[in-house]
Structure 1
Amino acid sequence: MTKDNNKEQYIDYDFILGKGIADYSDGDIVVIEKIGAKPIEGTVKLDMVLMIYCLKGRIQGEINGKTWLAEEGDVVICLPNSYLSNYMMTPDFDSRIIGLSYDAILNNIPMTKDALDLLSYVSKNPIIHLDAERQDLINKYYSIIDHKIKQPHNLFHKEIMHSIFTCAVFELCAIIAPHVNYTRDGGTMKQANLLFHKFINLLSKNEGRTCSVKKYAEELCITPKYLSFICKQVSGKTALEWIHEYTIKSIERYLKHSNLSIKEIADRLGFPNLSFFGKFTKNYLGVSPTEYRRQQSMKKEV
């Protein structure tokens, strides 16, 4: 979507698709081979992760009010809720751009403490320089991606693409990791990040069972309002959105990989009745639990 408010644009996955500039898209990931040469007027706010790999030339712009310059061999990583403005490029600028939706991030990158530390580092240091060896490595990944984009979309195409992207993202994480000051219990992690990490740990231990924001807040000895504020500040999503993300991932796992009945899954995850479970699942997966399981079974039989 996009909205005009003092020339501010709100950019997400759907906006990019609507512009018709994606060379590949699958619902979670977009690949763009050429960035537009027209400078941004006003401000752009991102609702996704955007990674720009500079192949040639230079690009300069403002990220969250701070000016950055990226040159050949640099990767620019813009996190959700970043504000971009006033970018300009040299005439010879060439790049490859990958956009990841929230779902792609959640499904491929475990939200561990180390991952949160890494994201915190990237938010302050969005330009990652690659030496010649690592440029060659990333170029090899992109060659595989480019090859798969140009192939007909065969069986498991999306799964293959996601696996390649996941490997490439973790390669970047490995490059960034030595520069990150990882925190441990009793370390220098800011209170908000520490509380958010504890909240994510509680979600993981709860294994997707439905639970109110109030219940998690009580376990953390803070108010529900403050918990949601922390989650929004650190991750861009509210506490309730995180709870629902973990619940729907558990629903998908049980429907795909278990022989539990629909009622048994609903009971295990703490839903009050089958009707509510069905409405919740359809709202997030687009179909009823029974239909989703049927679709997954059909994929296995092909």
Structure 2
Amino acid sequence: MTNETTTTELKIDMGLIANYGNADYIDGDVVVLDGIDKVLQTDGTYRFEIIMMAYCTKGRMQYESNGETYTSKAGDVVICLPSTTWENVLVSPDYESKIVGISYKTAQTSVQMNSDFLALMGYISKNPVVHLNEEQQDIFMKYYAIIAHKIKNPNGFYHREIMHCLLQSTIYELFAIIMPYVEYTFDGGNLKQANLLFQRFIELLAANNGKMQPVKKYAQELCITPKYLSSITKQVTGRTALEWIHSYTVKAIEKYLRRSNLSIKEISELLGFPNLSFFGKFTKSHLGMSPTQYRKDQSMRK
């Protein structure tokens, strides 16, 4: 007989954090937590499906990712990208941190996807721990103080929009600190080439206005194979080309169902779906309800 050890991988996403019920603020797109222990509640392996920033204010944390060991201490920010896996997480008894998380879908709409951003993501994937000097720490604590104030005083119009803008500003502040360290030609230039191809892919997606097209169609326009296109998108962003195509189609569906008077059939045809049945199944799998139900739900919210 052979003894086999089974490692349980826990997926960290907005749904799981919401189920824990201990977030200071969560709306399905962004989350604010006071302490990493509210996210990592069990031993094992953790796979993140959100962009998470953990700012350490006290103590130390250590974890392993992709065969590398990383350590965060007071004044450090750990940036965790989607599809990142953590193992063997250790925290000191006095460890304290401020956690901000944002869904990848929200990041797509709030952060401009250009070559600088893609190079930044490539750098962060290899250098997830960022040390802040005293001035930078002071700036981040001021941001967090404003966010904490808005959490405690949620009354008023545009609360959700204000929270998103504050968190977006915090993310850009951190990115501005990192950018001077980004090297555009690391990995012998291969990552730079992948970034440029991915940027062109995103431009094609945007120009297509969410119309459902196969990966093969975009690969032909880029003069590469579908397999290579999916490989570089996975390398740069952690998501396949098909996942990116679907995400743009979902955004288009949401837009037309919310803001247009087009019929469900007209939207389906406009976005290139072969029939209403397929359109309905696709919408339900990505939005959790049928097109008719989604439109009715949004109308009631208004």
Q: How does 1:216-227 map to 2 (within 5 A)?
A: 216-227=218-229
From 103, 123, 126, give the equivalent of 2:125.
123
Q: Which runs of 5+ in 2 are unaligned?
A: none
TM-fit CA distance, 1:264: 4.2
TM-fit CA distance, 1:214: 1.3
Distance 1:67-1:247 versus aligned 2 partners, 3 A rule = same
TM-fit CA distance, 1:42: 4.6
Q: Would the aligned equivalents of 2:201 and 2:218 in 1 still touch at CA under 8 Å?
A: yes
Opposite residue 150 of structure 1, the aligned amino acid is K
Q: How does 1:56-67 map to 2 (within 5 A)?
A: 56-67=58-69
Distance 1:161-1:44 versus aligned 2 partners, 3 A rule = same
Distance 1:33-1:277 versus aligned 2 partners, 3 A rule = same
Match in the other structure for 1:163: 165
Match in the other structure for 1:32: 33
More moved, 235-244 vs 100-109: 100-109
Match in the other structure for 2:94: 92
| Number of aligned residue pairs | 294
Match in the other structure for 1:6: 6
Task: Give SS of 1:7's match.
Answer: coil
TM-fit CA distance, 1:29: 2.2
Q: When the two structures are superposed, what TM-score results if normalisation uses the length of structure 2?
A: 0.84
Identity value in percent: 54
Q: Would the aligned equivalents of 2:119 and 2:192 in 1 still touch at CA under 8 Å?
A: no
TM-fit CA distance, 1:191: 3.8
TM-fit CA distance, 1:182: 4.1
Opposite residue 18 of structure 2, the aligned amino acid is L
Distance 2:194 2:155 in 1: 43
Match in the other structure for 1:51: 53
Task: Give SS of 1:227's match.
Answer: helix
Q: Would the aligned equivalents of 2:61 and 2:90 in 1 still touch at CA under 8 Å?
A: yes
Match in the other structure for 2:274: 272
RMSD: 2.9
Task: Give SS of 1:45's match.
Answer: strand
Task: Give SS of 1:36's match.
Answer: helix
Opposite residue 178 of structure 1, the aligned amino acid is P
Opposite residue 100 of structure 2, the aligned amino acid is I
More moved, 250-259 vs 161-170: 250-259
Q: Would the aligned equivalents of 1:208 and 1:269 in 2 still touch at CA under 8 Å?
A: yes
Task: Give SS of 1:62's match.
Answer: strand
Q: Would the aligned equivalents of 1:279 and 1:288 in 2 still touch at CA under 8 Å?
A: yes
TM-fit CA distance, 1:244: 1.0
Q: Would the aligned equivalents of 1:57 and 1:91 in 2 still touch at CA under 8 Å?
A: yes
Distance 1:66 1:265 in 2: 47
Distance 1:17-1:288 versus aligned 2 partners, 3 A rule = closer
Distance 1:268-1:8 versus aligned 2 partners, 3 A rule = same
TM-fit CA distance, 1:153: 6.2
Q: Would the aligned equivalents of 1:49 and 1:79 in 2 still touch at CA under 8 Å?
A: yes
Q: When the two structures are superposed, what TM-score results if normalisation uses the length of structure 1?
A: 0.84
Match in the other structure for 1:147: 149
Q: Would the aligned equivalents of 1:40 and 1:86 in 2 still touch at CA under 8 Å?
A: no
TM-fit CA distance, 1:117: 0.5
Distance 1:298-1:156 versus aligned 2 partners, 3 A rule = farther
Q: How does 1:279-290 map to 2 (within 5 A)?
A: 279-290=281-292
Distance 1:165 1:56 in 2: 22
Structure 2 residue 17 is matched with structure 1 residue 16: yes
Opposite residue 32 of structure 2, the aligned amino acid is V
String of CA shifts for 1:88-125, please: whole Å, max 9, x gaps: 33333211112222222223223222111110111111
Q: Would the aligned equivalents of 1:232 and 1:238 in 2 still touch at CA under 8 Å?
A: yes
Opposite residue 243 of structure 2, the aligned amino acid is E
Opposite residue 74 of structure 2, the aligned amino acid is E
Task: Give SS of 2:46's match.
Answer: strand
From 215, 218, 233, give the equivalent of 2:217.
215
More moved, 196-205 vs 148-157: 148-157
Q: Would the aligned equivalents of 1:7 and 1:42 in 2 still touch at CA under 8 Å?
A: yes
Distance 1:42-1:12 versus aligned 2 partners, 3 A rule = closer
Distance 1:210 1:45 in 2: 29
Task: Give SS of 1:144's match.
Answer: helix
Q: Which runs of 5+ in 1 are unaligned?
A: none
